[in-house]
Amino acid sequence: MGRRWQDGRGELVVHGGATVPLEIATSYRARTRGLLGRDAVHGAILLSPANSIHTFRMRIPIDVAYLDQNLVVIAVRTMKPGRLGAPRVRARHVLEAEAGVMEGWGVRVGVRVTVEAG
């Protein structure tokens, strides 16, 4: 299931949950920059392809959801700044958002999400 997203904006649709503004980061530069240096996040950011992240030089704690090739959530973690996340072998994409928001959106293990590029 190859996906050909490009850097830009869109929406994250959580099946059985919320629709959230989404920033899509697919280029090396956009994925590397991610949420570094930001004080807040409006919605979420999708890093693709990715199977691990770090929070070095981040200013805020974040929620991290690891997605498999079918966009099913395989793990959700909250990470403080200055941490290195363990790689997830089955993960193909990573969602990042401000700490505490993913639970309210319904993002949890086993839930499928959809990315609607805008």
Q: What is the pLDDT of residues 77-92, one digit of tens each?
A: 999 999 999 999 999 9
Rounded to whole angstroms, the Cα distance separating 31 from 54 reads 11
For residue 1, pLDDT over 50 is answered with no
Backbone angles phi, psi at 107, to 5 degrees: -80, 115
Question: Positive or negative CA dihedral for 23, 108, 56, 43?
Answer: positive
Q: What is the pLDDT of residues 9-31, one digit of tens each?
A: 999 999 988 999 999 999 988 88
DSSP H helical segments within the chain, as ranges?
A: 28-33, 101-105
User: Which of these, 30, 50, 59, lies nearest to 95 by C-alpha position?
Assistant: 50
CA 65: distance to chain centroid?
6
pLDDT tens across 36-51, in order? 667 778 899 999 999 9
Cα separations (Å) of 14 from 5, 17, 32?
18, 5, 25
